[in-house]
Copies of this chain bind each other. A is one copy, B any other.
Amino acid sequence: MLLSSCSKWEQIFVLLSFLFFIFSSKKQERMRPHFVLFGDSITEQSFRPGGWGAALAVAYSRKADVILRGYGGYNTRWALFLLDGLFPPSCNSPPIAVTVFFGANDAALLGRTSERQYVPVEEYKENLKKIVHRLKELSPTMLVVLITPPPIDEDGRKEYARSLYGKKAAELPERTNEMAGVYAAQCVAVAKELGVPTINLWSKMQETTGWQKKFLSDGLHLTEEGNA
């Protein structure tokens, strides 16, 4: 399992546990501390069977609520429009932890079928910074965890396109693993610059042989094993 070899979700678990124990002694207005999972479709799907979001909810059962804020198709540019609504400045019980998991859509290639989701890498970086700053303004002690986009299995993306469009499917995949890696590296750089933890999913997943089919269901989204 990925957890035993890479411990990516274990990292979240340990960090959240640390925060939980700090905050559980503080009386908050909300009945229970809560985490928010903020991201694109990979976050939105995280409560599906075997999903990492549901696994977090089980791990924190009777201790903390796990609130899902996943928006399929969103990139960081569109995520910025959601910030005020999701994390209002006047909120008096902010989440104690937020996972920020964008990049898979930002890294869609120009000139390919998903180009409307494309965000230039420099803007992606700035957008991530804005998101982190905004969350930290809400609560300086909030644990903000950046998660990089996962790697891309280009063959898997092409197969998926063929399954949808048959012969009309584009010859070239709309995302490449190399480009996802560029965005992942910038995500890690932002995390380092801002002093927040990060999970380099792009890199971690590729440490396991056969990651393409083992961890990804359509070349992009996670399988049950990819969630573990």
Give chain A's interface residues, CB within 8 Å of chain B. 24, 27-28, 31, 44-45, 47-51, 53-54, 57-58, 61-62, 65, 67-68, 70-71, 85-86, 88, 90-92, 224
B27 touches A91 (CB 8 A): yes
Copies in the complex: 2
User: Which of B24, B49, B70 contacts A54 (CB under 8 A)?
Assistant: B49
A-B contact pairs, 11 of them (CB 8 A): A27-B91, A28-B88, A28-B90, A28-B91, A28-B92, A31-B85, A47-B47, A48-B58, A51-B54, A57-B68, A65-B68
Which residues of chain B come closer than 8 Å to A65, judged between CB atoms? 67-68
Q: How far is the CA of A59 from the CA of B91 in the complex (A)?
A: 27
Q: How far is the CA of A27 from the CA of B92 in the complex (A)?
A: 10
Which residues of chain B come closer than 8 Å to A48, judged between CB atoms? 54, 58
Known A-B contacts A28-B92, A54-B57; the reply to A49 vs B86 at CB < 8 A is no
A224 touches B49 (CB 8 A): yes
Q: How far is the CA of A65 from the CA of B24 in the complex (A)?
A: 22
A86 touches B54 (CB 8 A): no
